[in-house]
A and B are shown apart, each in its own frame.
Chain A
Amino acid sequence: DQQVKQNSPSLSVQEGRISILNCDYTNSMFDYFLWYKKYPAEGPTFLISISSIKDKNEDGRFTVFLNKSAKHLSLHIVPSQPGDSAVYFCAASARNSGGSNYKLTFGKGTLLTVNP
């Protein structure tokens, strides 16, 4: 049962245009959401996050939107650059079943290709 879903395995956009990466979740206990970026042969690196009490968080070219009623979040990259080409993972956080710590649940990732 996949609690965090990224239904688009890949996305291709032109340099300078907007990239929109989508993520859906099913667990209403998730209270914090994150996006990670991963280049080949490297580990994921944190990009941007949003708390469940907000609906938007912006950091430079990156904006994350959260729609709690739809259990949907999206990452907007404007303008897209060739260096943004990577796999983007959506992740959600909730307390583990024992309540001792928070646990990240990841989506499968979306490969973004930004063409020059």
Chain B
Amino acid sequence: ETGVTQTPRHLVMGMTNKKSLKCEQHLGHNAMYWYKQSAKKPLELMFVYNFKEQTENNSVPSRFSPECPNSSHLFLHLHTLQPEDSALYLCASSQDWRGPRLETQYFGPGTRLLVL
């Protein structure tokens, strides 16, 4: 496998469920990101991890809990979500987070989440 992969591609869950989204990058990058894209809204940055350390939490509710066990893997744990959390969740990675040349962010295909 190459690039950035995400599983599952689609997920339907109830408001009381607990589920996890997984992201894996095979690019040797040091930074990983979670984004949310809701219908008719821009991509919103949720979390940034650099060398496994969280460096950005964009005021995300605690029902979303990220985990980065190593530079290649990133998880998003979901708990007691609301219907308005239904969206496309995208993972991305980049070689380095420190400079403005963020064109090296590579995105995964996303997980389409529906909360009932």
Contacts and interface: CB of A to CB of B under 8 A. Distances in A.
Q: Is the interface of A mostly helix, strand, loop or mixed?
A: strand
Interface stretch (A10-18, A65-73, A76-84, A99-107): A99-107
A-B pairs, top 3 by smallest CB distance, nearest first, are: A43-B107, A106-B43, A32-B100
Contact of A100 (B43, B55, B101): B55
Contacts of A109: 42
Given A4-B42, A43-B4, A108-B41, A102 B107 contact: no
B18 to A, nearest CB: 25
Contacts of A51: 100
Given A101-B55, A101-B97, A108-B40, A43 B109 contact: yes
Nearest to A47: B103
Contacts of B43: 44, 89, 91, 104, 106
Interface of B: 4, 40-45, 48, 50, 55-56, 90, 92, 97-110
Given A101-B97, A102-B102, 18 more contacts: A32-B102, A41-B109, A42-B109, A43-B4, A43-B90, A43-B107, A44-B43, A44-B107, A46-B104, A49-B101, A51-B100, A101-B48, A101-B50, A101-B55, A105-B42, A105-B45, A106-B43, A107-B42
Interface residues of A, number: 28
Most buried by A among B45, B92, B105, B108: B105
